[in-house]
Amino acid sequence: KAGVTQTPRYLIKTRGQQVTLSCSPISGHRSVSWYQQTPGQGLQFLFEYFSETQRNKGNFPGRFSGRQFSNSRSEMNVSTLELGDSALYLCASSSLAGGDSEQFFGPGTRLTVL
């Protein structure tokens, strides 16, 4: 099976812009979770989608949003970018919802906000 893929791998934006990141889960997985990873805060949960519905959300401002399509592919959007949004954004897929099973991570999208 192909693994989790994320596009783009690297992205440079300026403050105030918005960005959309994409994640394709492992075939057959219906749960997609997004995480932000920074040296200072570590890995932080953003949200989880299962069967096109957001199931859980972490403590991030409303500028962070996402969606999931009928084929389980997911996108994450960050609007009005701030310098502090610079991070590695990781997507993970799993067969069960709610983090109750092994998650398979993609390589991440490295976002740099200037």
- Interface residues with other proteins (CB under 8 A) are 4, 33, 35, 37, 39, 42-45, 48, 55-56, 58, 88, 90, 92, 97-100, 102-108, 110
Q: How far is the CB of 98 from other proteins (least distance, A)?
A: 4
Residue pair 47/104 in contact (Cβ under 8 Å)? The answer is no
Q: Which is nearer to other proteins, 61 or 98 (CB)?
A: 98
Q: Which is nearer to other proteins, 13 or 105 (CB)?
A: 105
Q: How far is the CB of 32 from other proteins (least distance, A)?
A: 13
96: which 2 tokens?
A: 């069960």
Which SS3 state, helix, strand or coil, does residue 99 take?
Answer: coil
Q: How far is the CB of 108 from other proteins (least distance, A)?
A: 5
Q: How far is the CB of 16 from other proteins (least distance, A)?
A: 25
Q: Which is nearer to other proteins, 11 or 105 (CB)?
A: 105
One-character DSSP codes across 34-74 = EEEEETTTEEEEEEEEETTEEEEE-S--TTEEEEE-TTS-E
* Cβ neighbours of residue 41 closer than 8 Å, sequence gap 6 or more: none
